[in-house]
């Protein structure tokens, strides 16, 4: 029997009739069928269709024969998980379990290798992905804080990370809350401590007064939901200490489990390594080195972080496949070379397998001190499978190993499929493996053979530069679709930056850092950390230089078909080996053409953040889009996400009015409200502010802003709930950045408050530029709640959760027009 090896390193027999699957034999017979001899266009079309179908069946049979359908196992599992996380009404576990049972029984009555069995396997993997997603969600059951508040907290430090300006970020396991006591407290919170204090150690108890808030939702409908990420990270609230936290007693180790004590010891070791690195390498080089070795990235300055992100080098700071592969490769090659220096040992023992086992131990230690980051775990799993393949004399770099790694990750953490890290990592790896396999199967002698030492050096340098260029180009193209979809940006000079920086990372930074870690227990690490720092200084210089060339392209929100079509096309192009893979090329080009030719996704004219603190009007000034905002200094966390989506670089700030300020609000908790005189005074000030306002620019005083809309309508933004009724009488739109029990304005004005936005999330309102068009709204959340959005509908007074995310005002709202005065003596709001 003769075997051939395909591009991915898989062996398959080609001789002997018994080795050919029935589908392949049937396809070969079909190709020998007599062709139609009659003339005419109909016969020619039928013959062409017959040849196409025969060729397709032959290609499918070849893919089955080489076992390439296994590459699509993680694809089906991931699609099933993504469907469960995306659809509004996900099926429950009993229903999914019943479907799985039926599909398994169907496999026993379906012949193997047929289209029916392939279809059943596909359906089974899809449902299995949904079942895994449901299981992970139930297993975590993270409690998310329902509303912002200030309270005294006490908790055990589980993680800590130093910031660039001396601040510390703690992950605490809450043990108590006082004044007020939270009825539904989260298990873990992330808190920032800015005030000077003695940093608490991992395992210590911290107490202090802190402001807690739920994790942020999407900044605009369709953008990233941070609450989803926090839910699957086990974080129920974020916030900051009001003042310096107090260091309490050390938590008793007997109260913690063995796993918890091991985890605390491991993170203490990680913290010690990070502190040691920063003590040897102060500034950004030390923070950069700590991010590469231990995964702590917050201590790097904002300028360096922005430069790395803009230049396309931010992937170096994450412990991902690049770092793990370099660490494993350095240890593998180094240990194998050292052992080979002893001929007696090398001839008696399998040096290659010993080096692979040593590299596996080294990467295991690397991932342990990395803080279990998702990208590090994924890279470690992929590296471990490849080193295991070396131990068992199997091809180390193959798409089958990649499929095994992806499947293992999706089984343990199905939610990873929704994040850009998982998508970009595996897309880049699959593209590199497929590209390398294609190049290896078709070797091309580009350079002439070296006949002298200078020619040999030049050829080696050309190969290194060409390999780095091809790797950067392949990885960049494979991840571009996900960068565009998730971040709405694409670096235009990442190729040049990676070409300049990657030799430094591969030849200087990683080897020096690896040797320094090996010598750290002996106190001999400082010289090698210095070498590592010098290399990172050069990398930062490359990042600053390239980022000064421009920030790259900015993309608006693209239709869902763009990500779906390009992703499927990339899967076909990288996971198949026959001519069927070219269907992926056709699908990618078609999707890009359709997306390019389709109309740009429309953004709402009025944009409202989920806390109502930031309001913006998107308009056009002389054919150029403009964005009027209600704050001189908009919150960067929200506005930085708005900018690339809207394509606005510089917004129009509000005009500060010289009108008198509003009457002071009564103290919180006071039973006395504004007097009648104060209320009338406030109404006069608001009316003057509305009369003074312009179309396309906010006019603001303290605690209030006004804006003129088209068709005679007006908008008032307030931070005072006690003036909502007065604003309803004067404006067509009232946006209240405060909690209130009011739901609508009796005057007919639209009332949107922090309370209503808590259920709906950020809003986009359409129809403001056309008086004949009915208003329409797009909210971040609609329909029944999901586990990571249920906290938005929870009422702490009754302990009940609403059944659906309602619109902030009825959808039957009429057409836009000037506000009408309510009947005399009528209440303005209800």
DSSP code for 768:
T
Are 746 and 830 within 8 A, CB to CB? yes
User: Does residue 15 surpass a pLDDT of 50?
Assistant: no
Instruction: Please give the pLDDT value at position 817.
Output: 42
Instruction: Give the mean model confidence (pLDDT) for residues 506-531.
Output: 92
580 vs 591: CA distance, rounded Å: 18
734 forms beta bridges with: 716, 751
Please compute the mean of the pLDDT values over residues 599-623 and round it to a whole number: 83
How much is the mean pLDDT over the chain?
84
615: enclosing H helix or E strand = strand 615-621
Q: Look at residue 22 and tell me whether its pLDDT is greater than 80.
A: no
Q: What is the pLDDT of residue 512?
A: 93
Confidence tier at 808 by pLDDT (50, 70, 90):
low
pLDDT of residue 197: 84
| pLDDT reported for residue 706 | 95
For residue 677, what is the DSSP state? H
Q: What is the pLDDT of residues 400-415, one digit of tens each?
A: 888 998 999 999 999 9
Q: Hey, which residues does 43 pair with through a beta bridge?
A: none
Cβ–Cβ < 8 Å for 447, 459: yes
Say which residue, 249 or 251, is predicted with more confidence. 249
Model pLDDT, residue 670: 54
**Strand pairing partners for 747?**
none
Give the pLDDT confidence score for residue 816 in this predicted structure.
43
> pLDDT category, 49, cuts 50, 70, 90?
confident
Helix axes 283-293 and 302-311, enclosed angle (nearest 10):
60
Where does the pLDDT of residue 557 fall: very low under 50, low under 70, confident under 90, or very high at 90 and above? Answer: confident
751 with 744: CB under 8 angstroms? yes
pLDDT, position 689: 93
Q: 43 falls in which pLDDT band (50, 70, 90)?
A: confident
What Å distances lie between residue 57 and 17, 203, 571, CA to CA? 18, 62, 19
For residue 282, report the phi and psi dihedrals to the nearest 5 degrees.
-70, 160
What are the tens digits of pLDDT across the range 433-462?
Answer: 888 887 777 656 666 676 777 877 787 777
Q: What mean pLDDT comes out for the span 133-162?
A: 93
Residue 806 has pLDDT above 80, yes or no: no
Q: How confident is the model over 158-191, as pLDDT tens digits?
A: 988 888 888 899 999 999 999 999 999 999 999 9
Percent of the chain with pLDDT over 70: 87
Q: What pLDDT score does 265 carry?
A: 86
Tell me the CA distances in angstroms from 562 to 250, 419, 565, 593, 825, one per residue in order. 53, 17, 5, 10, 56
Residue 233 has pLDDT above 80, yes or no: yes
Helices within 505-648 (DSSP H only): 510-519, 526-547, 560-575, 582-597, 636-646
**Average pLDDT score over residue span 652-661:** 90
Report d(CA 539, CA 288) in Å as an integer.
Answer: 10
pLDDT higher than threshold 80 for residue 741: yes
What pLDDT does 74 receive?
95
Instruction: Name the β-bridge partners of 240.
Output: 192, 211
Mean pLDDT over residues 523-528, rounded?
A: 93
Residue 719 has pLDDT above 60, yes or no: yes
């Amino acid at each position: 029997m003769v075997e051939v090896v395909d591009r991915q390193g898989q062996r398959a027999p080609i001789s002997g009739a018994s080795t050919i699957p029935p589908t392949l034999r049937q396809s070969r017979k079909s190709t020998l069928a007599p062709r139609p001899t009659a003339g005419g266009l109909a016969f020619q079309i039928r013959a062409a269709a017959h040849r196409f179908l025969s060729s397709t069946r032959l290609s499918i049979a070849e893919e089955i024969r080489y076992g390439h359908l296994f590459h699509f196992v993680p694809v089906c599992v991931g699609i099933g998980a993504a469907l469960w996380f995306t659809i509004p009404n996900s099926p429950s576990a009993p229903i999914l379990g019943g479907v799985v049972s039926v599909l398994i029984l169907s496999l026993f009555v379906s012949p193997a290798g047929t289209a029916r069995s392939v279809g059943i396997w596909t359906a089974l993997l899809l449902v299995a992905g949904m079942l895994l997603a449901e299981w992970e969600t139930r297993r975590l059951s993270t409690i998310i804080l329902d509303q912002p508040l200030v309270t005294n907290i006490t908790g055990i430090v589980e993680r800590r990370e130093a910031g660039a300006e001396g601040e510390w970020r703690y992950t605490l396991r809450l043990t108590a809350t006082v004044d007020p006591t939270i009825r539904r407290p989260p298990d873990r919170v992330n808190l920032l401590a800015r005030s000077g204090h003695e940093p608490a150690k991992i395992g210590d108890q911290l107490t202090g007064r802190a402001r807690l808030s739920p994790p942020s939702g999407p900044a605009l409908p369709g953008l990233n939901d941070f609450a989803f990420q926090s839910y699957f990270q086990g974080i129920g609230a974020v916030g900051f200490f009001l003042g310096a936290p107090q260091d309490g007693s050390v938590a008793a180790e007997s109260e913690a489990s063995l796993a918890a004590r091991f985890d605390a010891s491991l993170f203490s070791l990680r913290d010690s390594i990070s502190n040691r690195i920063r003590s040897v390498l102060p500034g950004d080089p030390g923070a950069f080195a700590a991010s590469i070795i231990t995964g702590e990235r917050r201590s790097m300055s904002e300028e360096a972080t922005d430069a790395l992100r803009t230049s396309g080098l931010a992937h170096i700071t994450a412990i991902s496949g690049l770092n793990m592969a370099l660490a494993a490769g350095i240890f593998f090659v180094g240990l194998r070379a050292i052992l080979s220096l002893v001929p007696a040992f090398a001839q008696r023992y399998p040096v290659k397998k010993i080096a692979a086992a040593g590299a596996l131990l080294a990467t295991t230690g690397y991932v342990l001190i990395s803080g279990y980051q998702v990208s590090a775990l994924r890279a470690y799993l992929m590296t471990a499978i490849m080193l295991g393949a070396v131990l068992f004399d199997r091809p180390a770099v193959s798409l089958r190993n990649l499929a095994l790694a992806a499947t293992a990750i999706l089984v343990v953490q199905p939610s990873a499929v929704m994040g850009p890290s998982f998508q970009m990592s595996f897309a880049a790896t699959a593209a590199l493996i497929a590209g390398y396999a294609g190049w290896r199967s078709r070797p091309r002698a580009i350079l002439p053979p070296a006949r002298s030492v200078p020619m040999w050096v030049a050829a080696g340098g050309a190969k290194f530069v060409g390999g780095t260029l091809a790797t950067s180009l392949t990885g960049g193209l494979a991840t571009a679709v996900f960068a565009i979809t998730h971040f709405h940006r694409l670096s235009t000079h990442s190729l040049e930056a990676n070409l300049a920086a990657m030799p430094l990372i591969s030849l200087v930074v990683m080897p020096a850092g690896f040797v320094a870690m090996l010598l750290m227990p002996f106190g001999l690490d400082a010289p090698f950390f210095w070498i590592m720092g010098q290399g990172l200084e050069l990398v930062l210089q490359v990042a600053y230089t390239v980022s000064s060339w421009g920030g790259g392209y900015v993309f608006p929100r693209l239709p869902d078909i763009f990500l779906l079509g390009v992703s499927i096309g990339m899967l076909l192009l990288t996971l198949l080996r026959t001519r069927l893979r070219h269907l992926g090329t056709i699908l990618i080009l078609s999707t890009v053409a359709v997306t390019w030719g389709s109309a740009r996704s429309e953004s709402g004219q009025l944009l409202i953040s989920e806390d109502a603190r930031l309001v913006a009007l998107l308009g056009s000034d002389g054919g150029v889009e403009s964005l009027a905002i209600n704050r001189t200094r908009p919150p960067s966390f929200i506005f930085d996400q708005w900018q690339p989506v809207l394509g606005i670089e510089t917004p129009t700030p509000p005009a500060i009015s010289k009108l008198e300020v509003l009457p002071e609000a009564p103290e919180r908790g006071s039973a006395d409200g504004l007097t009648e005189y104060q209320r009338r005074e406030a109404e006069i000030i608001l009316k003057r502010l509305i009369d003074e306002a312009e179309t396309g620019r906010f006019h603001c005083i303290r605690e209030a802003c006004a804006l003129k809309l088209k068709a005679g309508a007006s908008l008032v933004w307030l931070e005072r709930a006690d003036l909502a009724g007065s604003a309803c009488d004067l404006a067509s739109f009232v946006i209240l950045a405060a909690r209130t029990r009011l739901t609508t304005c009796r005057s007919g004005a639209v009332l949107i408050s922090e309370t209503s936005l808590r259920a709906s999330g950020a809003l986009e309102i359409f129809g403001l530029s056309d008086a004949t068009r009915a208003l329409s709204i797009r909210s971040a959340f609609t329909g029944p709640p999901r586990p990571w959005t249920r906290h938005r509908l929870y009422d702490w007074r009754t302990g009940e959760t609403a059944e659906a995310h309602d619109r902030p005002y009825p959808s039957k709202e009429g057409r836009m027009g000037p506000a009408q005065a309510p009947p005399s003596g009528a209440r303005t709001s209800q």
